[in-house]
Structure 1
Amino acid sequence: MLKLNKKMVSVAIGLLLSQTACASPTSLEDATAIQRSIVTLDTHLDTPAHLVQPGFDILERHTYGHDFSQVDVPRMLEGALDGGFWVIYSPQGPLTQEGYEDSRDTAILRALAIHTMVTANPDVFEFATEPEDAAAIKKAGKLIVYMSMENSYPLGTDVSLLETFYKLGLRMVGPVHFKNNQFGDSSTDPSGIKWGGLSPLGEELVAEANRLGIVLDGSHAHDKTTEDMIRLSKTPIILSHTGTKAIYDHPRNVDDALLKKLAASGGVIQMNAYSDYLADLPKNPERAEAYKGLFALRAQGVDMDALIEKRREIEHEHPAVKATFEVYMKHFLHALKVVGPKHVGIGADWDGGGGVKDMMDVVNLPRITQRLLDEGYTKSDLEDIWANNALRVLQAAKDYSESLKTAK
């Protein structure tokens, strides 16, 4: 029997390290091919905001430099993105009956815009409501359209309205956005926390989402709100577009303790590419002031083409400093290190402010796959990260809802 001495062990380790170091990095072409072979979903597409703009055609190729859009069919096909959760978003308004009703109408119109996109292009898109729909739609050569709601403000004080959106196809819902509302505390409200987590109405929302089979989304929620959602929900929750506090301590990100609690409950974090949440970027007061003027013009109802032209001027005179792709991957790899590939996915916040240097639209998504492969993650891991984790959470929500029906 051969006995290894210290010198032989040292040589063997050296050879192993040498072989590892010499391993060829994955080409972008190979990474793209692998990505095309699996189901790929992004869990937070704010693109429906463009669908309601005059002149925007989702079938045509746009560029970020021209109209600041980041998702369209040609770019999805090039970037090997099969689809995802297309967002119903309504900005926060006053917590009044009139405010709720105005927002409700906006949300319904946004949901109808998503449906119109699908029904007007049946050879391109297909609506998805069940976990198994994603693979079937991809196999049919179409793009996948699940629907989510960012900010439950449009529901007002009647959580039963959630069922209306469920019947329209909604399968994910987040209670809050930038500010506290009737359902709970936001991570970024300047006034601080109001409820200490979920409000009593927010607790009702959790129960109603569980009953219907809708996944709860803790993105934008205060940590206390997220903890309440994890504690009260009968099914795992998702953070559809969030980063890690360990890499950058921002209120929109979660620390390792909460990340572990999320994973222990079966939940998933989907990695956000919103630059301001990824790194401490230089402040640009002139840019901020210029955008205040742009927002004022928008409030006055100025023509969209004129607004886009004005934004181009601002971007030329006061260009934004974006986080790097490497910083984005630091958040991504840290989350993978803490909770593993069964609890991490992708939700870059496209068309909602997402985008980092060298990845400003969906065309460059294969760079993520390339980097993960080079880090040693397998194709099976990529299948989980790109779709299976989010679909597993959706399956759990469906299963619980079905169990309530059979128990009656």
Structure 2
Amino acid sequence: MLSFLLAAGAAKMAQPQAEPANMNQPKRPRGLKPTEPLLSRKDWPVLYREGIVWDAHACLPLIPNADMSPLQRHREAGVTYVSVNVGMDFNPLADCIRVIAGFRDWLAKHDDHYCLAGSIADVARAKETGKLAVSFDLEGSMMLNDDLAMIGLFRDLGVRQMHLAYNRDNQIAGGCHGEDQGLTDLGRAVVKEINRVGMIMDCSHSSRATSLEIMQLSSKPVVFSHSNPSAVRAHPRNVDDIQIKACAETGGIIAINGIGPFLGDDRTETILAHIDYVVKKVGAKHVGIGIDYSFDQVHTDLPPGEDAAYWWPKTSGVDFGKMAFVPPERWPAIAVALLKNGYSEADATAILGGNFMRVAGESWT
């Protein structure tokens, strides 16, 4: 099966298929009708207006030359930085490279409001100049084609965060809907190389065994960039107390996910319930937010011939056309809710972005 997938990826690399002209525009964008009242800018807390706001994961359509202008919603909501997915385990290497090329080109052509961030200094400058800082993340490792040298190349192209298995087991690591596989020998080498080249080591979508092994092996902080505590919402995508504590012991972060099946619903108070739980377990310095917002509810990013039910089992509750998403516009309300629920300004600032600035500072060098 692996040789077939790699051969298919190589064939696509040799003969990339043209995309229809209208495929670079998202279809039926989400969030046009907010489910909660939106805060006007004048009601944003000072710490929100002045601090770093870090969204650890978001998704645009994985198609060549995609329009990134939907990210303006993050910018208008006061977000400083967002990590954007550029490929999952089912996306062949050639496709991932074309997505990255298109994103880099778009960002370069819109540098009045956006910047490709490679360092925390870039993120800080984006805050000072009113720009949205963007970098990329990979969800899975099959696009490496078993080649460690690809990790450094992806970093050079703007990838700053990576996990090793998207839902299913692969030749490197185990996925959360797999057989609880741990790291392979190649997987252990991949973790070390991610640490060496300077990316954030992520464990979202990974199996429990893989995540615990990564956290034991990694020399840098490890994060769950968009996962929730399973004690609050039982789901295979979420993480248990042992995983939460192991993550904190690396100096890492559990970033709360805003997708309904993993959260429970899309209410701000539910986000706070997940934050509260993790804070009580390991402290505010190990909590962040990665709302995992998908800007397109039609395009699933699956290549032709892939089975959606394999990657997203029906029992997972994942239905991109129906499930609830916490939208980017909710960020200011989350800041207000933290303060109203008794969090100090220092802890609220850390949760909203300060913690990820710390981890990126330790990981991106």
TM-score, normalised by the number of residues in structure 1:
0.69
Q: State the partner residue of 1:403.
A: none
Residue number in structure 2 paired with 1:72: 71
Tell me if structure 2 keeps the 8 A contact 1:241–1:346. yes
Judged with a 3 Å threshold, the aligned counterparts in structure 2 of structure 1 residues 389 and 87 are, in CA distance, closer, same or farther, namely: same
| Overall identity of the aligned pairs, in % | 28
- Specify the alignment match of 2:277 in structure 1: 334
Q: Where do 1:127-166 residues align within 5 Å?
A: 127-166=116-155
Q: Secondary structure at the match of 2:285?
A: coil
Give the whole-Å Cα distance in 2 for the aligned partners of 1:269 and 1:52.
32
Rounded to whole Å, the distance in 1 between the matches of 2:134 and 2:248 is 26
Secondary structure of 1:72's counterpart equals: helix
TM-superposed CA distance for 1:323, in Å, is 4.6
| Matched residue, 1:82 | 80
For residue 365 of structure 1, what is the aligned residue in structure 2? 331
Does 2:239 align with 1:254? yes
Which of 41, 45, 50 is the aligned partner of 2:54? 41
Q: CA deviation at 1:327?
A: 2.5
* C-alpha displacement of 1:48: 5.2
Matched, 1:201 2:186: yes
How far apart are the structure 2 equivalents of 1:236 and 1:77? Answer: 27
Cα drift, residue 248 of structure 1: 1.5
For residues 125 and 48 of structure 1, the distance between their equivalents in structure 2, rounded to whole angstroms, comes to: 18
- TM-score, normalised relative to structure 2: 0.77
Matches within 5 A, 1:153-302: 153-189=142-178, 192-193=179-180, 196-279=181-264
Which secondary structure does the structure 1 equivalent of 2:213 belong to?
helix
Partner of 1:397: 363
Are 1:382 and 2:348 matched, yes or no? yes
Which residue of the partner structure matches residue 34 of structure 2? Answer: none
For the residue of structure 1 that corresponds to 2:56, the secondary structure is strand
CA–CA separation in structure 1 for the residues paired with 2:227 and 2:322: 13
Look up the match of 1:106: 95
The unaligned stretches of length 5 or more in structure 1 are 1-26, 60-70, 93-101, 280-321, 400-408
2:282 maps to a residue whose letter is: V
Q: Secondary structure at the match of 1:144?
A: strand
Q: What amino acid is the match of 1:128?
A: A
* Contact 2:89/2:141 (<8 A) preserved: no
Change (3 A) 1:30 1:125: same
* d(CA) in 2 for partners of 1:371, 1:47: 27
Given residue 36 of structure 1, which amino acid in structure 2 is its aligned partner?
R
From the superposition, tell whether residues 216 and 356 of structure 1 become closer, same or farther in structure 2 (CA, over 3 Å).
same
**Post-superposition offset of 1:379:** 2.4
Matched residue type, 1:234: S
User: Where is the helix percentage greater, Structure 1 or Structure 2?
Assistant: 1
Could you tell me which runs of 5 or more consecutive residues in structure 2 were left unpaired when the two chains were aligned.
1-38, 296-319
2:293 match: secondary structure: coil
Look up the SS of the partner of 2:137 in the other structure: strand
Please say if residues 348 and 355 of structure 1, whose CA atoms lie closer than 8 Å, have aligned partners that are also in contact: no
Cα 1:265–1:274 shift into 2, 3 Å = same
> How many angstroms apart in 2 are the aligned matches of 1:142 and 1:78?
10
Number of residue pairs aligned between Structure 1 and Structure 2:
302
1:346 corresponding residue in structure 2: 289
Query: Deviation of residue 382 (structure 1)?
Result: 2.3
Deviation sequence 1:238-272 (CA, Å, 0-9, x none): 11100001101211111122211211220111100
Deviation for aligned residue 1:202: 0.7
Instruction: Determine helix, strand or coil for the equivalent of 2:294.
Output: coil
Answer whether contact 2:266 2:326 (CA < 8 A) is retained. Answer: no
Alpha-carbon distance in structure 2 between the residues aligned to 1:76 and 1:354: 21
Could you tell which deviates more after superposition, 347-356 or 104-113? Answer: 347-356
> In structure 1, how many angstroms separate the alpha carbons of the residues matched to 2:101 and 2:124?
24
Instruction: Name the aligned partner's letter for residue 143 of structure 2.
Output: P
